[in-house]
């Protein structure tokens, strides 16, 4: 179809349009950086241009980015990275010996002793060995084979790669993947992109977002009617919900996966972010092996970790790994082949991961400072988790489950019917309408619960607990005030 | 009975069925008497398109090379003392030194305490501060915007404008990526749609860099091969493009045309006229143009010059510059930087539909952002030391040394290989590789075929086992039927390269003799 362009030069329809592009891509949504964040960025721009607003800054409490909210990097980690980037600094006596030693070991494992060389596609070998040792230490001695470790560009990369391997079949045989509702929307996005079937299982909000095997069974049986369920994904500690699953629950999930012949994907990127008393991180691998060979030699599993969370918060480095358990050797060969096409994960991120799994030891010069910094970060997060839960629970119309772990709160909000109606009039999901209003009136950017999934008729938002404590108190206060105002306005 | 009750009955009935009836694999008895089942994920139940993916640059021959290295390190005796990995375009691995200025800035960005250290020049410090200021919390550890750090995209746009003699570049058209590979795969993903006869077809050169064939296999797109002309120094030929396209139209929907310039593996630098012809062809045939220009600084031969597709497009006037849809790709892995490990890159999108752009922006947001150290590095590449700045002289010195060493090695390689009977090597006009044609005796072809191996794989495997030199057979990149090639990088240091070339020569003569 021919159309006239503005300057009179005739033009035809484009080669690549929304109608002929990859249809799967159109189905992809990622709320954490979706429309509300785009609006937040716009508002920031307006503020810079001097437009008057009811607030002086936009607070981006939408994304689990600790450094952006003022958290400081761990000194030791950055010292080693600087030494790796510019080895001339080995002469500089500002750097402690243990940092230099780590840097030299990493450089010796790089081609041409440079972090600018491609690494092996599975990741630098000695880093994978260090990761395996870390896992063994963490899991009380259960063996980890470095060959089962794949370094990745953040955990997201490995998660997408595994899902890609798992998706096959057509129509009723199409692979179905079980994901929690609420979930971290990388999963729903990846499933949409791959054209896989999303099988939603609901976490129990009344029981602090715990996982219920009966609910897993319900979801699975319903799904068997229209697809071929093959995978079960679980995020522990949870995102956005923050629950830390009990050991019993993890055992039950493993039993369920074995019974129902499902590949288990355990997203454990928040494994150091555990705050609530009585809660403890139990790695899926550890529990699996403690259940004996009937399970440990049969259940196929991949677990994921990252340098973006925990006490490091090094999101920008895109470091991560996955450990694969009981994977068929032919499939492993395919996996290695697949990751080779992208050459290798970023080497600075691999170096960083090496330090995370191989941190300063008690007899080393940097140990005291390292422990001090690590403890301070985790203690601050624990304090903010508690503060957030407390304050939100004082607001009529907001109920907040304990933030047992991770970096977020996912409180339930009561929206007046009039507000729900108004939202629908505007073609907006009600909690998006609520969050947009909050953004425009207070400059606080959250992500509506609809971006993560929630039970019909319920509304939530996800807010990070990352701003510095004093700022967080102000943010919580503002949200409280907004909520009361909003409720009043639509009463 | 109502529908709801019927459904309930059906579900109950299903859940009481045995595992086998529900479609789960049967249990079976293994040798040791233990009941076991087939795995959930097997070679038969894996994603079928993944099985079709091949990537020769890190394929079987490289796996064997790594094995040999291991054997050597364990003290096994071999006819060689080391394995030389001339299979991959990794300059640092072959001893090329990083550019001092870049690494200084990256160190400052990693550990800003160094800003008070007077061993660092002022221009490095000011670049580092500028980068850190545009990072969340002034830290490289923050996620950046998904499209890439704003100020870096602005610098990239300015670089492109300078490079292209003032042709305007909009920072909003720039997407930073995790290496160029990331941008290429993302664009291909956007482009692929349809089914059967309407399935998207993508034109790629033969020979090509096998990221393209791998991505197309994975996406289930149709690969449309157009042959470069070996007799004319691997130049592109419009009648050949037309032939390939017309044939492909019978069974798919051709929508994209990919070109690598300077070429990989072939090293040719396309003439300006050729680039114009390709643009005209793309316009006429309604193809989305993908211009892989990662080797844009790697131009060696006299009379050759890099012409960016964007520049040529705009110089062809609005009839083309306002209509042809183009994506061009660049990277921090090649040129004079060779910083492969940082995974830095960008793509510039020209004339993309706005709605599609919004989809692209949404798609890249799922992976959050490209690695920030790579973005910082890209910023330095497009915004290097200027005359008058403290680091300028050493920067230019290092850059020039690296590029002239490559030029020297390009020429050396062509010369030496052309002295070998049975090897003929086109001039290495640019990039980092030679892709000589080798004559393989009929007896060797036969033995290879008997062993189920491609003849040039057979040849390269033998070379690896006998000399420790790891190359990639031409079959990994594509070549005209009945011809054989290998790709070898020109990256080893000159002295080592000379030895390498002599060993290749020696091997070829021996091999030819052995199978005569």
- CA B84: distance to chain centroid? 21
d(CA B124, CA B120) in angstroms, rounded, equals 7
Q: Do A337 and B54 touch (CB under 8 A)?
A: yes
Neighbours of B67 (CB within 10 A): 11
d(CA B498, CA A451) in angstroms, rounded, equals 60
Average of per-residue pLDDT values in chain A: 96
C-alpha angle A238-A386-A393 in degrees, rounded to nearest 5: 95
**Candidates A3, A10, A17, A22, partner chain B, best to mutate (most B CBs within 10 A):** A22
Tell me the domain boundaries of chain A. Answer: 23-70+370-489, 102-357
Q: Do A17 and B356 touch (CB under 8 A)?
A: yes
Angstrom distances, CA of residue B458 to CA of A387, B71, B444, B451, B463: 67, 21, 8, 9, 9
Identify the pLDDT of residue A17: 94
pLDDT band of A13, cuts 50, 70, 90: confident
A431 Rama sector, left if φ>0, alpha if ψ -120 to 50, beta otherwise: alpha
Q: Do A341 and B41 touch (CB under 8 A)?
A: no
* In A264-359, alpha helices (H): 284-290, 293-296, 329-340, 347-357
Inform me whether the C-beta atom of residue B192 falls under 8 Å from chain A C-beta atoms.
yes
Identify the pLDDT of residue A6: 41
d(CA B21, CA B325) in angstroms, rounded, equals 52
Residue A119: both structure tokens together: 């690494």
Identify the pLDDT of residue B6: 54
**Candidates B111, B337, B378, partner chain A, best to mutate (most A CBs within 10 A):** B111
d(CA A298, CA A264) in angstroms, rounded, equals 11
Environment class of residue A207 by beta-carbon count within 10 Å: exposed (0-12), middle (13-18) or buried (19+)? exposed
d(CA B294, CA B308) in angstroms, rounded, equals 11
Q: Is the pLDDT of residue B32 over 80?
A: no
Q: Do A111 and B92 touch (CB under 8 A)?
A: yes
Q: Do A82 and B114 touch (CB under 8 A)?
A: yes
pLDDT band of B7, cuts 50, 70, 90: low
Within B137-221, strands assigned E span 174-178, 200-206
Identify the pLDDT of residue B55: 94
What confidence tens digit (pLDDT) does each residue in B106-131 have? 999 999 999 999 999 999 999 999 99
Residue B454: both structure tokens together: 């491609």
Q: Do A341 and B325 touch (CB under 8 A)?
A: no
Strand partners, A11: A3
**Candidates A13, A117, A152, A445, partner chain B, best to mutate (most B CBs within 10 A):** A117
Give B196→chain A minimum CA distance, Å: 14
Place of tokens 């964040």: A37
Q: Do B95 and A312 touch (CB under 8 A)?
A: no
d(CA B423, CA B459) in angstroms, rounded, equals 13
Cβ atoms of residues A436 and A430 within 8 Å: no
Nearest-CA neighbor of B431 among B261, B258, B233?
A: B261
**Chain A residue numbers touching B56 (CB-CB < 8 A):** none
Q: Which residues contact B193 (CB under 8 A, 6 or more apart)?
A: A20, A21, A22, A23, B199, B200
pLDDT band of B37, cuts 50, 70, 90: confident
d(CA A46, CA B505) in angstroms, rounded, equals 66
Inform me whether the C-beta atom of residue B41 falls under 8 Å from chain A C-beta atoms.
yes
Q: Do A67 and B139 touch (CB under 8 A)?
A: yes
CB proximity under 8 Å: A 205-264 to B: 217, 221-222, 224-225, 228, 230-231, 260-263
Residues B45-66: what's their mean pLDDT? 94
d(CA B186, CA B367) in angstroms, rounded, equals 11
Q: Which fold has domain A102-357?
A: 3.40.640
**Candidates B83, B87, B143, partner chain A, best to mutate (most A CBs within 10 A):** B143
The CATH classification of domain B52-95+400-514, taken from the options 1.10.3720.10, 3.90.1150.10, 3.90.1150.110, 3.40.50.920: 3.90.1150.10
Max alpha carbon distance in chain A (Å)? 76
What confidence tens digit (pLDDT) does each residue in B307-324 have? 999 999 999 999 999 999
A263-267 and A59-60 strand pairing: unpaired
Cβ atoms of residues B330 and B152 within 8 Å: no
C-alpha angle B485-B213-B254 in degrees, rounded to nearest 5: 120
Place of tokens 């090695």: B409
Inform me whether the C-beta atom of residue B366 falls under 8 Å from chain A C-beta atoms.
yes
Inform me whether the C-beta atom of residue B303 falls under 8 Å from chain A C-beta atoms.
no
Identify the pLDDT of residue B38: 87
CA dihedral A376→A382→A386→A389, nearest 10 degrees, is 120
Chains A–B, number of C-beta pairs less than 8 Å apart: 311
**Candidates B106, B117, B341, partner chain A, best to mutate (most A CBs within 10 A):** B341
Residues A387-397: what's their mean pLDDT? 97
B137 closest CB neighbour out of A70, A86, A231: A70
Q: Do A262 and B40 touch (CB under 8 A)?
A: yes
Residue A352: both structure tokens together: 């960083």
Q: Is the pLDDT of residue A285 over 90?
A: yes
Q: Do A341 and B53 touch (CB under 8 A)?
A: yes
Inform me whether the C-beta atom of residue B17 falls under 8 Å from chain A C-beta atoms.
no
Inform me whether the C-beta atom of residue B104 falls under 8 Å from chain A C-beta atoms.
yes
DSSP result, B261-324: SS-TTT-----HHHHHHHHHHHHHHT-EEEEE-TTTT-B-STT-----HHHHHHHT-HHHHTT-
B484-489 and B437-438 strand pairing: antiparallel
Return the residue of B nearest to A342 by Cα. B181
Q: Do A114 and B189 touch (CB under 8 A)?
A: no
Identify the pLDDT of residue B67: 96
Inform me whether the C-beta atom of residue B39 falls under 8 Å from chain A C-beta atoms.
yes
d(CA B317, CA B283) in angstroms, rounded, equals 13
What confidence tens digit (pLDDT) does each residue in A415-471 have? 999 999 999 999 999 999 999 999 999 999 999 999 999 999 999 999 999 999 999
Residues A123-128: what's their mean pLDDT? 98
A175-181 and A197-202 strand pairing: parallel
Inform me whether the C-beta atom of residue B292 falls under 8 Å from chain A C-beta atoms.
no
Identify the pLDDT of residue B264: 98
SS3 B256: strand
Q: Do B37 and A73 touch (CB under 8 A)?
A: no
**Chain B residue numbers touching A231 (CB-CB < 8 A):** 40
A68 closest CB neighbour out of B106, B113, B142: B142
SS3 B142: coil
End-to-end CA distance of chain A: 52
Place of tokens 């045309």: B257
What confidence tens digit (pLDDT) does each residue in B235-294 have? 999 999 999 999 999 999 999 999 999 999 999 999 999 999 999 999 999 999 999 999
d(CA A416, CA A439) in angstroms, rounded, equals 19
| Second-level CATH architecture of B122-382 | 3-Layer(aba) Sandwich (3.40)
SS3 B411: helix
d(CA B350, CA B160) in angstroms, rounded, equals 13
Cβ atoms of residues A468 and A59 within 8 Å: no
* In B96-149, alpha helices (H): 100-110, 122-133
What confidence tens digit (pLDDT) does each residue in A337-360 have? 999 999 999 999 999 999 999 999
User: Sign of the CA dihedral A317, A237, A335, A178?
Assistant: negative
Q: Is the pLDDT of residue B207 over 90?
A: yes
C-alpha angle B436-B442-B447 in degrees, rounded to nearest 5: 100
**Chain B residue numbers touching A67 (CB-CB < 8 A):** 135-137, 139, 141-142
Give B348→chain A minimum CA distance, Å: 16
Cβ atoms of residues B331 and B347 within 8 Å: no
Return the residue of A nearest to B191 by Cα. A21
Tell me the domain boundaries of chain B. Answer: 52-95+400-514, 122-382
Residues A88-113: what's their mean pLDDT? 97
Cβ atoms of residues A172 and A227 within 8 Å: yes
B27-29 and B35-37 strand pairing: antiparallel
As a CATH number, domain A23-70+370-489 is: 3.90.1150.10
d(CA B486, CA B439) in angstroms, rounded, equals 11
């Amino acid at each position: 179809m021919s159309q006239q362009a503005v300057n009179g030069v005739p033009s035809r329809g484009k080669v690549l349009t929304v109608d002929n592009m990859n249809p799967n891509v159109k189905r992809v949504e990622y709320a954490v950086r979706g429309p509300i964040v785009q609006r937040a960025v716009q508002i920031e721009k307006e503020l810079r241009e001097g437009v008057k607003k009811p607030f002086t800054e936009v607070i981006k409490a939408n994304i689990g980015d600790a450094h952006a909210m003022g958290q400081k990097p761990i000194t030791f980690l950055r010292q080693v990275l600087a030494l790796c980037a510019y080895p001339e600094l080995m002469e500089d006596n500002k750097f402690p010996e243990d940092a230099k030693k780590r840097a030299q070991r990493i450089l010796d494992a790089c081609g041409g002793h440079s972090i600018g060389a491609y690494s092996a596609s599975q990741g630098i070998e000695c880093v994978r060995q260090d990761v395996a040792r870390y896992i063994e230490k963490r899991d009380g001695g259960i063996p980890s084979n470095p060959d089962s470790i794949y370094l990745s560009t953040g955990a997201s990369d490995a998660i997408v790669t595994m899902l890609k391997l798992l998706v096959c079949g057509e129509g009723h045989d199409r692979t179905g993947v079980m994901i929690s509702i609420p979930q971290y929307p990388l999963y729903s996005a990846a499933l949409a992109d791959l054209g896989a079937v999303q099988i939603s299982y609901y976490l129990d909000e009344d029981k602090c977002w715990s996982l219920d095997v009966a609910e897993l069974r319900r979801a699975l049986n319903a799904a068997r009617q229209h697809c071929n369920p093959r995978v079960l994904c679980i995020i522990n500690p949870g995102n956005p919900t923050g629950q830390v699953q009990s050991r019993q629950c993890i055992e039950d999930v493993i039993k369920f996966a074995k019974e129902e012949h499902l590949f288990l994907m355990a997203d454990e990127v928040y494994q150091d972010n555990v705050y609530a008393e009585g809660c403890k991180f139990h790695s899926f691998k550890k529990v699996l092996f403690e259940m004996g060979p009937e399970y440990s030699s049969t259940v196929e599993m991949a677990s994921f970790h990252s340098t973006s969370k925990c006490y490091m918060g090094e999101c920008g480095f895109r470091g991560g790994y996955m450990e694969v358990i009981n994977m068929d050797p032919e499939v492993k060969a395919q996996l290695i082949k697949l990751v080779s096409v992208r050459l290798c994960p970023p080497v600075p991120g691999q170096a960083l991961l090496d330090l995370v799994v191989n941190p300063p030891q008690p007899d080393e010069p940097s140990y005291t400072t390292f422990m001090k910094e690590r403890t301070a970060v985790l203690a601050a997060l624990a304090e903010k988790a508690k503060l957030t839960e407390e304050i939100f629970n004082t607001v009529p119309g907001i109920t907040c489950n304990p933030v047992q772990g991770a970096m977020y709160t996912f409180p339930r909000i009561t929206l007046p019917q009039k507000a729900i109606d108004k939202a629908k009039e505007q073609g907006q999901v009600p909690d998006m309408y609520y969050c947009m209003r909050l953004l425009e009136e207070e400059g606080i950017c959250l992500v509506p619960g609809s971006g993560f999934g929630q039970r019909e008729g319920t509304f939530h938002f996800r807010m990070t607990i990352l701003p510095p404590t004093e700022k967080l108190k102000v943010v919580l206060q503002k949200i409280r005030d907004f909520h009361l105002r909003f409720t009043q306005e639509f009463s | 009975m109502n529908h709801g009750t019927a459904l309930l009955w059906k579900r109950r009935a299903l859940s009481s069925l045995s595992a086998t009836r529900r479609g789960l694999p049967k249990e079976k008895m293994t040798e040791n008497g233990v009941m076991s089942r087939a795995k959930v994920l097997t070679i038969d139940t894996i994603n079928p398109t993944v099985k079709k993916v091949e990537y020769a640059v890190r394929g079987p021959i490289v796996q064997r090379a790594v094995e040999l290295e291991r054997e050597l390190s364990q003290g096994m005796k071999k006819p060689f003392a080391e394995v030389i990995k001339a299979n991959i375009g990794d300059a640092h691995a072959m001893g090329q030194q990083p550019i001092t200025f870049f690494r200084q800035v990256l160190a400052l960005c990693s550990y800003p305490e160094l800003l008070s250290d007077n061993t660092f020049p002022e221009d490095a410090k000011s670049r580092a501060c500028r980068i850190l200021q545009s990072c969340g919390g002034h830290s490289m550890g923050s996620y950046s915007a998904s499209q890439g750090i704003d100020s870096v995209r602005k610098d990239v746009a300015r670089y492109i404008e300078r490079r292209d003699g003032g042709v305007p570049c909009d920072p909003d058209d720039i997407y930073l990526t995790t290496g160029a590979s990331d941008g290429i795969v993302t664009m291909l993903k956007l482009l692929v749609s349809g089914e059967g006869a309407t399935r998207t077809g993508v034109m790629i050169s033969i020979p090509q860099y096998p990221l393209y064939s791998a991505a197309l296999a994975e996406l289930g797109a149709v690969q449309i091969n157009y042959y470069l002309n070996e007799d004319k120094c691997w130049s592109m030929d419009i009648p050949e493009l037309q032939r390939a396209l017309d044939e492909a139209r019978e069974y798919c929907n051709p929508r994209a045309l990919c070109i690598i310039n300077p070429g990989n593996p072939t090293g040719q630098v396309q003439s300006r006229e050729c680039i114009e012809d390709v643009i005209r062809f793309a316009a006429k045939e309604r193809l989305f143009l993908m211009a892989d220009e990662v080797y844009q600084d790697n131009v060696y031969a006299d009379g050759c010059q890099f012409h960016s597709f964007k520049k040529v497009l705009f110089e062809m006037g609005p009839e083309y510059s306002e209509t042809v849809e183009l994506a061009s790709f660049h990277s921090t892995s090649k040129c004079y930087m060779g910083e492969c490990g940082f995974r830095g890159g960008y793509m510039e999108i020209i004339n993309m539909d706005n709605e599609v752009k919004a989809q692209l922006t949404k798609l890249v947001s799922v992976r959050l952002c490209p690695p920030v150290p790579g973005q910082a590095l890209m910023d330095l590449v497009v915004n290097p030391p200027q005359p008058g700045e403290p680091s300028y002289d050493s920067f230019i010195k290092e850059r020039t040394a690296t590029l002239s060493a490559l030029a020297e090695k390009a020429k050396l390689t062509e010369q030496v290989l052309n002295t070998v009977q049975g090897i003929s090597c086109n001039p290495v006009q640019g990039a980092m590789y030679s892709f000589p044609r080798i004559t393989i005796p009929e007896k060797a072809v036969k033995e290879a075929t008997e062993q189920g191996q491609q003849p040039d794989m057979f040849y390269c495997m033998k070379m690896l086992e006998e000399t420790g030199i790891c190359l990639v057979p031409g079959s990994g990149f594509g070549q005209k039927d009945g011809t054989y090639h290998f790709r070898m990088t020109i990256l080893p240091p000159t002295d080592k390269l000379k030895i390498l070339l002599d060993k290749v020569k020696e091997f070829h003569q021996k091999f030819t003799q052995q199978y005569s």
